[in-house]
Structures are given as structure tokens and as C-alpha cells.
Amino acid sequence: MSGDLKFKIMKKIILCLMILLTGIAFSQKKRCGTDELNLNRLQQNPSLIKSRQQQELTLQKSILSSSKKRINLTIPVVVHVIYNSDFENVSNEQIESQIDALNRDFNNLNSDSLISSHAFYPIVGNIGIKFELATKDPSGKITTGITRTKTSKTSWIEDDLNKDNMKFTSTGGIENWDPKKFLNIYTVRFDDAVGLLGYAYFPEDLASFPETDGVVVDFRCFGTKGTSGSEGFTPYNLGRTVTHEVGHWLGLFHIWGDKVFETDKVCGDDNVADTPPAEGDNSGNPVFPFRPNNKCGSDKNGEMFMNYMDYVHDKSMVMFSKGQVTRMTSAINTFRTDLLKYSPSTIKVNSITINSPNNNSVFNKLEGTIQLSSIVLPINATNKNVKWSCVPDTIATIDQTGKITILKEGKVTITVQSTDGSLISASKEISIINESTTALDENIQNRFLTIHPNPTSDLFYISTNSFGNGKVRIYDIVGKVWVENNFSHEQNQINLTSLQNGNYIVEIEINGELFREKLIKK
């Protein structure tokens, strides 16, 4: 570590302490309160100054010796929902949407990632971390990874944040789970006067302040569903406030290096080599290139405002840099080593649904093939592979992609089953017809069955010498069912007034036998 770097780190810490003389305040709306709350911690604990300097030096040594390879790591997450009104009690679906957003953003799987022609594309990072809701709590009991605490507090004010009151039962919140083993995320309602979206604590503080470790965000900028974006938080509805705060939780500074005073002529430094120098935080939706050749020394490409560690709107922040990935990886290996011991759970399939074209259950055999698909839930199931089968296979066969090959008319039962050992399956009965059939089944002897009149404008009747009950279905030529009724020897009138004029197929089922005839509605 060079003497210049040591000097810059110490200078930054000293400047941070200077602002503390005026106190910590959130007088204006701000995306992140991490800096202010961490500076408040330094004010309350001056002995941290020297240890912070040493910790940064240790981290820099780790970065220099890092292989810079991605790590395959699963981080268990517990979401603590703290609510006063039912509206603040975010749903499981909204929580899952936030976990999905984290996994996309940290692994460069987001659909709005930089395109290959973008100037910053070559340094886009992919950390290789998977986030999942915890399946066991600190005592080893099965859990959903979600806690819900109803509080008497209608909102959390500035003093609550400075004291982390939402993390203690005695002050209206709930204690965090073992922070060495879990990422704790709290959802709360910040008071409007606070004007804050979220905050987090750096990994360096884990050993000294384990009881407050974690991420806190407003429930209106959490996830991508439900309350996300509500009550004026529309620009923050993609779950990226949590992405930003988890970046802090893994050791990242803001992209501009957290200058202390807006009038500072000394540009900040986020201690990451491949992020261009920035004059300060950016907001809204800037257009690239933004501030090219700025006063802090950026080149023609300007500032990396699209980085998750800036303050722009959610739709404009889309990337971590490779240097940031290296810093986060080194922070895990240096300060959050217990996460490396976590063994990811096996997430079982709990439901399967069969999808067929247009949701039909009747197909014309002249089509030759039918492509089915399956929906396997949950979406983060460990093994989503399935096995297809078709009975009887004399009428149709099915391959393991879900494609049915039709052999002849009849009914088949299609089954799809999970292969992860959880015995979850779904079945669907499919009727295969031939629209060229123009007469009723002639192979059934001693049975008289007709439909009349044909063509008809409104009604037709079924005549049969069978005294059993039956069913009648009417399909159009593409197999969509328009009418499905029971009929008997006494009640054999079928109303067609709801059908448009055209050609249809009448299917009659009596005692398990099927008969079909074309019908013309005029």
C-alpha cells in the first residue's frame, strides 16, 4: 500500500469527522443514508477511526492478492417486515420479487444491462452470488425466511435511524438474525421528513456492531410488485434500492467517493480502479455520455451514472464494475467469511401446470403434432426438470420436450412429473378428433343416433335408442369447446343461439363411447 493511498484514506476519515460537528440530518430527500449513519457511528465511537484505516488497508491487500475470479456463493436472506398498517405488510410475492431482482442485478442477468457496443460494457461485472430466502432459522428450525412484526410506530424518524430502533424489540422492531450467517433486510416506513430510501452498514463493522448489521429500506421501494413504487416512489420500483444497499453491505462506497462538502475541490474516491472519477452523486435519468472530461478527470465517456452505487432512478442503474466485484469478493473473504460456510438448501418443486395451445383440450389429428409446456413452481426450484408420459400410446405419443405426435382419433391422458423426487405431477386429458368425420360411428351395431335438423339456426335434437344419459360437446374447427351439456332420452334439446354461423363438430358420449358428426349453424 502506497503512502499516498494511506494519506487519502486518513484525509477522507478526518473530513468525515469534521461534518459531524454540525450533526447528522436528513433534511432533504435522499436515496441512501449509509454515509450519514456510519459517520454518526464514528462520532459516537472515535476509536473506530484508526481501526477503519487499518481495515481498509487489509482489504486493499486482499484485493491486490485476489485472483479476481467469480465466487460461487449462496447468501441466505431473512426479510424482517415491520408494519403498522396492512398496506405496509408487504406480501410474500413482493419479497420474492426482491430476491429475484438481487439475483439478476448481481449476476448481470438484468434485461436492461449494457449492450455490447456501450463504452463501459467491457468492465461490466458478474459476482456469481445467489441470494435465497433462508430455509432454516438460527436455531435450525424450518423457516420461510420472513418475519413479520406489527409495531405501534406509524413511521420511523431520524432519531430511530441513528439508534437503529427497528432492530430491537424494546423500541418497536425485532432483533436481527445471526449477521455472520444471514443477510438481514428490514422493510419499514421512513417518516416523510427523513426523506430516505434506505441505508446499510459496511462489513468492517460486523465484529464490533453485530446487533445492527444489515440493510433497511422503505417498503415503497422494495421489490418490483405490490407496494413498490407506491405513494410517489415510482422511480424506485425495480428493487434497486436494495441492490444499492447490499452493495454497501458488501463493502462498496458510492461511485463518486462520498465527498464531505459540496464545495470540496478534492474529488472523492470509491477505492475502485475501473470506476471513472465523478464530481458527485447523480439523480434522475442522465443521458450517456454524462459529464465527459469532467473536472475530476473523467475521459470522453464521462461518469458511470448507470452504476448501482450512484443515486439515479432505478431504470438508469444497471451494472456493477469488475473492480467492484473484486472489492465485494475480497470483503466477503476478509470480513464475512462465515458466509462461505453456508450450504445452499435444495428448493423443492411444489406445483406443476400443463399449458397447451390456447388452453385447448381438443385437437384435430390432421395437425400431426401438438406442443405442450409445463410451468414449474417455485421459480427458484433447484431442479425444474420434468418427465412427460402419454396413455394410451396407441393414440398418441409424447417426447420429453412435451411434443405430442398424433396417431389416430381418441382420448389420451398426458402427465408431467417433477424429477426432483418430490412426487409432484399434473395430468391433462386431451381429445383428438378428425374434422373430416361426416357421419356418426358406423361400427356400433344396433344403435340408432342422429342429430336433427342439420343445418339448423337455433336448436337441434339428439335422437337415440339408448336410454342412458350422455354428454354433448360442440367444437369449432380448431378444437375450441363452445357448448358442453348433459342430455338424456327425455331431455335431448340443445340450444345453439349463442353460436355464430359456421361449421362445427358435435361430439356425443354415451356409456363411454364417442360419436361425432359435422353440424352447420346458419
Sketch the domain layout of the chain as residue ranges: 3-19+50-56+70-341, 351-433, 449-521
Provide the CATH number for the domain formed by 351-433 in this structure: 2.60.40.1080
Q: State the angle between helix axes of 322-335 and 48-65 in degrees (0 to 180), rounded to the nearest 10.
A: 120
| Res 265: pLDDT | 56
- H-run or E-run covering 52: helix 48-65
Is 245 an annotated catalytic residue? yes
The grid cell for 383 is 431442479
| Res 263: pLDDT | 52
The residues, any chain, with a CB within 8 Å of residue 388's CB and separated by 6 or more, are 372, 398, 399, 400, 401, 402, 414, 415, 416
| Res 468: pLDDT | 64
Pairing of strands 362-364, 425-433: parallel
Residue type, 299: D
Return the closest-CA partner of residue 198 out of 110, 287, 98: 98
Return the closest-CA partner of residue 185 out of 220, 211, 222, 214: 214
The grid cell for 41 is 457511528
The CATH class that applies to domain 449-521 reads mainly beta
The CATH class that applies to domain 3-19+50-56+70-341 reads alpha beta
Distance CA 437, CA 516 (A): 7
Q: Do domains 351-433 and 449-521 have the same CATH topology?
A: yes
* 85 DSSP assignment: S
Question: pLDDT digit string (tens) for 325-372?
Answer: 999 999 999 999 999 888 766 777 888 888 877 667 777 766 688 888
Distance CA 201, CA 33 (A): 10
Distance CA 127, CA 286 (A): 26
CB 447 within 8 A of CB 467: no
- H-run or E-run covering 8: helix 3-20
Distance CA 478, CA 421 (A): 37
- In the chain, which residues have pLDDT < 50? 1-3, 5-28, 260-262, 436-447
Distance CA 227, CA 234 (A): 10
Query: Does pTM top 0.95 for this prediction?
Result: no
The grid cell for 75 is 447468501
| Res 17: pLDDT | 40
Q: Kindly report the CA angle at 284 between 83 and 189, in degrees rounded to 5?
A: 10
Catalytic residue among 158, 245, 303, 507: 245
CB 297 within 8 A of CB 275: no
